[in-house]
């Protein structure tokens, strides 16, 4: 069969498949799906985690199948595919590849939006930013960001994540800045790509040797991360193989090979056989399921080859789509909505962390009273997040990207074009913006009608239709000390452990916030009785109020100041979870607010109960150096405050129990560990760690408990896992 039969003349078979002769129209649809998969997988449910809506199961499935990670990997493969496809066609037409045009096009495409988002993110997380202190970096974290700004400006931030917890380095980038790592990988790839392509087109043998060398380099590089020692293994993403540039060398090779075949119309004939597309899809989804347990330290040996397999699967997907323009999937990918979202895919990826923050800030004050309302709140939260992401991307496309894309076209070559003409593009963007604004306005009206009273959104309050909002946390992120009343002090009742119970707050309890000594006292009904603070100063009220059984957190508080009713926003410090939450949550899941380390471990979670109460069982499915439950709140907010960690645990295995408190005590990642451990025992054992004072608030601070030297089939039970503000006997 001829090459033309395998890769038919697409203009003849389907006039809309190409734009001006060379653009693969399905690519925009694939871009849209990849970007949306990342957006959905990064959706932070936060206080909506207690919802029982089916959408929760959908979001959980996205996480189990590593859709965010697969989406990023797909973008890398797609970039290599497109650049090779266009580069080979340019070489065939002109006899060479222009480095000047290539670098100019890449800079004009990537840099304007990248630096716009970088500036916006810095404003977002700045202690003096407009959202302070709702979403703000702690002072120590802000200092780290400022001292490492050169890495973000130089597209090198991925290496900070890759070297996290190796030789004392600790990455402290907040989420809006952390996601820029993938753009850094792309830019580093672009730096060398035209030189490598020029070598490849000079001969098939040289191209084969180059591909083999890059494949080997990727494998060797991942092996190095597999064996690299890490400083603090319980921190999760230690020794970030996932973030290193050369980890994706073979993924770029697979995408480039597919682009080469597509440009030369040498796609194998079997790519058009019935059922091949289904097989490729199932293979890719299967790799996603396997990859989920292999992403983080300690890596399995299979982690080394999974990147290669995933890159090959995505390359095969691209070849199948481009060689089957009449397939239903290809037609859907060419549809107007997906094509438009594909044009916005870069902006969607770049803006989604900010959209997540703005949406969460707006909805955090909203209190619900029943499971159906919790489900509705989750749907509104997710919809608003996605819609706002697309709106920001569309605005940035019109204001920032489009002017530079027009300049970029001057550096193109014959046959290279964008997939939208100006008239269609403007019309589509106007439709997106109009629809998005209508949807957001409708959601605000729905919330106002469904959840009346003082529990309104921040936006509704800002336009004067709701109560004023007392911002939680002052401009320097208040430090919080909780002082229980006399009765609870006498009994040594835990502070955090008690939160979540109906009687957690008692008469006489006091919260002192910040060095200025702001305080509030609690009445017997759980309301604020007295507030002492500077006039006009925001007050930090951490997780206090009436216990909301539906959201499994405190709902907030109401107090009176100058005759005005204030609702307390809950966003600055997340709710702390304790052993009382073992009764809650989905089967097979760890309680909200905690996570299991290492992220790549293979384990199962059971919720059990005996005569003494509920507990969880964590069961290891394969060997791992350790398997621990880790928490943070409220450690990253404390400075100079004594704390006590306590765990009640039993286990089966050859190893030993360990309870640890990690405290970053100085700049540069200097840490101190406080440990209590005991041999593995099937009897309940109480472990206690007392810290005279935690220092230097840091997002790296955490406490963990679990089993070390874990064999296949080992397990541990956890009945209590509490953190006390203060020391207990």
**393: its two tokens:** 């991307």
d(CA 141, CA 698): 7
Same domain, 596 and 717: yes
Residue matched to tokens 């909200």? 592
Give residues with Cβ within 8 angstroms of 603, minimum separation 6. Answer: 596, 618, 619, 620, 621, 627
> Phi/psi at 518 (nearest 5 deg)?
-60, 145
Q: Are residues 628 and 530 in the same domain?
A: no
Q: Which residues pair with 606 in a beta bridge?
A: 617
Split the chain (729 residues) into runs of 10 and give each run's mean pLDDT: 35 35 73 91 58 66 75 92 90 84 91 96 77 53 86 93 78 85 94 87 80 88 80 52 89 91 84 84 82 68 85 91 86 89 94 88 63 75 92 94 86 49 74 90 78 54 46 30 36 32 39 40 40 40 40 38 36 34 56 74 79 82 86 70 80 85 73 83 85 76 88 86 65
Q: Of 442, 462, 482, at which residue does a domain stop? A: 462
Q: Is 382 domain-assigned?
A: yes
- Residues 359, 431, single domain; the answer is yes
Q: Within a domain: residue 587?
A: yes
How far, in Å, are 44, 69, 221 from residue 305 at the CA level? 30, 16, 11
Does 494 fall in a domain? yes
Q: Point out the domain boundary residue: 536, 568, 600.
A: 568
Same domain, 602 and 714: yes
The range of the structural domain enclosing residue 672 comes to 579-725
Query: What pLDDT does 304 receive?
Result: 85
Contacts of 148 (CB under 8 A, 6+ apart): 157, 160, 173
| Same-domain check for residues 641 and 551 | no
pLDDT of amino acid 159: 92
Nearest Cα to 618, choosing from 545, 499, 510, 719? 719
3-state secondary structure of 33: helix
Helix (H, G, I), strand (E, B) or coil at 547: strand
Q: What is the pLDDT of residue 667?
A: 63
Q: 587 and 698 in one domain?
A: yes
Instruction: Flag whether 315 is in a domain.
Output: no
Q: Is residue 248 part of a domain?
A: no
Does 378 reside within a domain?
yes
Q: Please tell me whether residues 557 and 657 are part of one structural domain.
A: no
Name, in order, each residue with C-beta under 8 angstroms of 119's C-beta and a sequence gap of 6 or more.
none
Residue 272: DSSP 8-state: G
Q: Which of 568, 594, 622 is the last residue of a domain?
A: 568
Nearest-angstrom CA–CA distance, 275 and 281:
10
pLDDT tens for 14-56 read 333 333 344 577 888 999 999 999 998 888 554 444 455 577 6
Contact assessment for residue 118 and residue 293, using Cβ atoms and an 8 Å cutoff: no
Q: Are 479 and 437 in the same domain? A: no
Residues 701 and 584 placed together within one structural domain of the fold: yes
Looking at residue 620, its pLDDT comes to 87
530 Rama class: left (phi>0) / alpha (psi -120 to 50) / beta: beta
pLDDT at 345: 94
Q: Which are the contacts of 161, defined by CB distance < 8 A and separation ≥ 6?
A: 171, 173, 178, 181, 237, 240, 242, 243
* Whole-Å CA distances, 240 to 246, 295, 650: 12, 9, 32
Is 656 in the same domain as 550? no
Which one, of 109, 124, 117, 191, lies nearest residue 153 by Cα?
A: 117
Together in a domain, 480 and 548:
yes
Beta bridge partners of 469: 567
Quick check: 584 and 568 in contact, CB under 8 A?
A: no
By the 8 A CB rule, do 55 and 374 touch? Answer: no
Whether the CB-CB separation of 360 and 354 falls below 8 Å is answered with no
d(CA 428, CA 650): 60
Q: Does the model's pTM come out above 0.85?
A: no
Instruction: Identify the CATH number of the domain in which residue 682 sits.
Output: 2.60.120.260
For residue 397, tell me if it sits in a domain.
Answer: yes
Residue 137 is assigned to a structural domain of this protein: no
Domain count, the chain: 3
Backbone angles phi, psi at 656, to 5 degrees: -145, 155
The two three-digit tokens of residue 520, written as one number:
């509030």
Residues 611 and 678 in one domain: yes
């Amino acid at each position: 069969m001829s090459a033309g039969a395998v890769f038919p003349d697409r203009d003849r078979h389907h006039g809309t498949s190409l734009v001006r002769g060379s653009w693969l129209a399905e690519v925009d649809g694939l871009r849209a799906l990849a970007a949306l998969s990342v957006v959905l997988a990064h959706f932070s449910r936060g206080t909506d985690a207690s919802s029982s809506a089916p959408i929760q199961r959908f979001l959980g499935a996205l996480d189990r199948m590593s859709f965010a990670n697969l989406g990023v990997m797909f973008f890398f493969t797609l970039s290599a595919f497109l650049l090779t496809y266009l580069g080979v066609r340019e070489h065939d037409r002109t006899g060479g590849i222009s480095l000047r045009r290539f670098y100019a096009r890449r800079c004009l495409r990537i840099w304007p939006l990248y630096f716009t988002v970088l500036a916006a993110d810095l404003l977002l997380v700045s202690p003096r930013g407009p959202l302070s202190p709702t979403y703000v970096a702690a002072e120590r974290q802000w200092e780290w960001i400022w001292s490492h700004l050169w890495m973000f400006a130089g597209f090198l931030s991925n290496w900070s994540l890759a070297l996290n917890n190796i030789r004392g380095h600790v990455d402290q980038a907040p989420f809006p800045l952390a996601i820029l790592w993938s753009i850094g990988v792309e830019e580093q790839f672009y730096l060398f790509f035209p030189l490598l392509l020029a070598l490849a087109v000079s001969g098939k043998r040289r191209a084969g040797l180059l591909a083999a060398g890059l494949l080997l380099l990727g494998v060797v590089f991942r092996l190095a991360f597999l064996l690299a020692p890490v400083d603090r293994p319980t921190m999760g993403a230690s020794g970030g193989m996932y973030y290193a540039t050369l980890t994706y060398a073979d993924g770029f090779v697979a995408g480039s090979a597919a682009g080469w075949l597509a440009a030369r119309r040498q796609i194998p004939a079997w790519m058009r056989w019935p059922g091949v597309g289904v097989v490729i899809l199932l293979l890719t989804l299967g790799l996603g399921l396997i990859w989920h347990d292999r992403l983080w330290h300690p890596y399995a040996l299979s982690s080394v080859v999974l990147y290669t397999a995933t890159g090959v699967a995505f390359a095969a997907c691209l070849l199948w789509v481009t060689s089957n323009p009449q397939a239903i999937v290809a037609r859907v990918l060419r549809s107007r909505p997906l094509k438009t979202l594909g044009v916005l895919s870069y902006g969607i990826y770049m803006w989604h962390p900010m959209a997540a923050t703005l949406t969460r800030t707006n909805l955090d004050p909203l209190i619900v009273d029943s499971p159906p309302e919790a489900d509705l709140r989750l749907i509104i939260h997710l919809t608003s997040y996605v819609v706002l992401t697309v709106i920001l991307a569309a605005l940035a496309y019109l204001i920032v990207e489009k002017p530079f894309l027009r300049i970029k076209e001057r550096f193109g070559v014959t046959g290279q074009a964008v997939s939208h003409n100006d008239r269609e593009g403007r019309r589509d963007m106007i439709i997106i913006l109009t629809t998005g604004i209508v949807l957001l306005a409708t959601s605000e009206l729905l919330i106002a009608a469904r959840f009346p009273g003082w529990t309104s959104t921040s936006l509704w309050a800002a336009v004067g239709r709701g109560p004023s909002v007392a911002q939680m946390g002052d401009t320097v992120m208040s430090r919080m000390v909780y002082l229980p009343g006399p009765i609870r002090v006498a009994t040594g009742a835990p502070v955090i452990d008690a939160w979540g119970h109906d009687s957690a707050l008692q008469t006489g309890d006091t919260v002192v916030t910040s060095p200025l000594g702001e305080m509030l006292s609690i009445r017997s009904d759980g309301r604020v009785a007295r507030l002492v603070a500077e006039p006009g100063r925001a007050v930090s009220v951490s997780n206090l109020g009436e216990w909301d059984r539906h959201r499994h957190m405190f709902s907030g508080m109401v107090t009176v100041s100058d005759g005005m009713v204030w609702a307390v926003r809950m966003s600055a410090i997340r709710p702390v979870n304790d052993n009382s939450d073992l009764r809650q949550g989905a089967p097979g899941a760890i309680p909200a607010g905690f996570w299991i380390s290492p992220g790549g471990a293979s384990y199962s979670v059971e919720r059990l109960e005996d005569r003494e109460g509920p507990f969880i069982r964590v069961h290891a499915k394969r060997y791992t150096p350790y398997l621990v439950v880790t928490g943070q709140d409220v450690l990253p907010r404390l400075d100079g405050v004594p704390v006590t960690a306590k765990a009640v645990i039993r286990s089966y295995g050859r190893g030993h129990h360990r309870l640890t408190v990690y405290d970053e005590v100085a700049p540069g990642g200097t840490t101190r560990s406080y440990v209590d451990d005991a041999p593995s025992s099937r009897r309940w054992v109480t472990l206690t760690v007392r810290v005279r004072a935690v220092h230097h608030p840091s997002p790296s601070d955490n406490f963990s408990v679990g089993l070390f030297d874990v064999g296949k089939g080992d397990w541990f039970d956890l009945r209590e896992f509490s953190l006390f503000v203060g020391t207990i006997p």
